[in-house]
Amino acid sequence: MDFGGPFFVLSIIAISTFGWLANNWIRARHGYSLEDEWGGKTERKDSDEARQLRAENGELRALLGKVDKRMQVLERIVTDKGYSVAAEIEALRDERRNADSDAGVPLDVARKEKV
């Protein structure tokens, strides 16, 4: 192989150029700043769509935080020791039944007399 010939020099230039183009294409695709041929950086300008997406992302993150807090409360209720919430509700029903027994005679709707 002749390392001093023009084919070798041109192939090195072509490989370097292709590598630089591939590097910039990958960087642009993933949103990174681009490099120019002297190593400087060129920042991408944000479009209106990108700004709207960022604003929507912020709103969704805030909403997710609220939902997370609500879910923590629900998990605490469900995993409460021995489902004490259900026991408290039943205790309130029992108190109400005892208070209603002093109110008068209960109706017996299930039993109907035939005349």
Q: What pLDDT, on a 0 to 100 scale, did the predictor assign at position 65?
A: 93
Determine the Cα–Cα distance for residues 34 and 29; give it in Å rounded to an integer.
10
How many angstroms separate the CA atoms of 52 and 12, rounded? 44
Q: Tokens for 89? A: 């509700």
User: In this structure, how many other beta carbons lie within 10 angstroms of the beta carbon of residue 84?
Assistant: 11
pLDDT bucket at 59, cuts 50 / 70 / 90: very high
pLDDT band at 95 (very low <50, low <70, confident <90, very high): confident
User: How large is the average pLDDT for residues 14-35?
Assistant: 83
Short-list 65, 30, 54, 56, CA closest to 44? 30
For residue 15, is pLDDT > 90? yes
Report pTM.
0.34
**Domain residue extents for the chain:** 67-103
For the chain, the average pLDDT equals 77
